[in-house]
Amino acid sequence: MKELESVWGAVWVGSLSDGQLNELLSSDEFNNADKYILLDENTSQHCLPTLLDHVEALHTAHLLEIESGEESKTIEICAQLWGALSDNKASREIVVINLGGGVITDMGGFVASTYKRGVRFINVPTTLLAQVDASVGGKVGVDLDNLKNQIGSFSKAEAVFVDVEFLNTLPVAEFVSGYAEVIKHAFIRDKKYWEAILDGNIAVNGIREDIVCRSIEIKNQIVTNDPKEKGERKLLNFGHTIGHAVETWCLNNGSKVLHGYAVALGMICESYISNQITGLSAAELEEICAHIVEVFGKMDISEIPVSELIDLMKNDKKNRGTEINFTLLKQIGVGVYNNSVEEGLIAESLKFYNEIQVAVI
């Protein structure tokens, strides 16, 4: 496996069969620690057998299984997990292995970092979204009243182990959802990476290990420079101010949209805003929109009241005072953060999305 250094813990990319995870858990530091695997019904069926095949040290691990989906990412489910650990008399010396997507790694890290003031945890992300984004960077947390990641903290994983073979277990929609975070990294930091993604037709041909590594490298570079999101790390919010609002509105109203699809919508809207105020060219705006529509299609948001979406955006963690704060693009590969955007322009960007008609590249 290839090791990628990060201020928030080492990230290993490659096959679990190489043995690094088993070696770590068999070391003097972890060998006598009780081990707990947090997972959902999907990773229990499709990923746990592979993990156990390659990591003998987990053969006697306790399993903590929750229901899959964003609806489970709540304090109430955390309380159930804390209770299960306490009932099992789990000490501060345990280690929690988070096996799953972003919900599992976000919430598992939060549960571990708060149980008895903090126990060790290791992330084994199994979705593309978790591998390139959610499991790396030190953010842990849960939603509050469907508002994304309102409760949480920064906490360092002992390590993250990324095996792209897990991506073969994903439904197509889950893979595509994670692809949104891949292209986000290219948009905010690396135009050559964007060109490589297009040249490889990654959305159709599938992800490669080098693509996963490059996305992780981009995120690691940003979070190393700004571990606690005081400045540069806000770049990673591109597409998320509007995307999170749409995702939350859908959850509040009984419908479900995968995170990456909402972020894709957000990236179109926020690219439009970028064209209006930070200099993104019309040609690059069209290039972004064409590719996103080709891969993700379009959501019908025509019936969602714009005022309700804007109210949700006012809860975004990166706002300053009463301003709604956006990360935008000067050009593909160059993101800029701390851009206050007026409500009228936000509404205009949503109208642009609803009416967009672009030729598919």
**Residues noted as catalytic:** 117, 139, 181, 219, 229, 233, 237, 240, 244, 259
Q: Among candidates 361, 197, 342, which has minimal Cα distance to 285?
A: 361
- CA dist., res. 274 & res. 188, Å (int): 12
- CA dist., res. 170 & res. 168, Å (int): 6
Q: 301 CB contacts (<8 Å, ≥6 apart)? A: 246, 265, 350, 353, 354
Please provide the size of the chain in residues. 361
Residue 239 token pair? 């597409």
Which residue type occupies 94?
A: I
Which residue type occupies 105?
A: T
| Residue recorded with tokens 């936000």 | 346
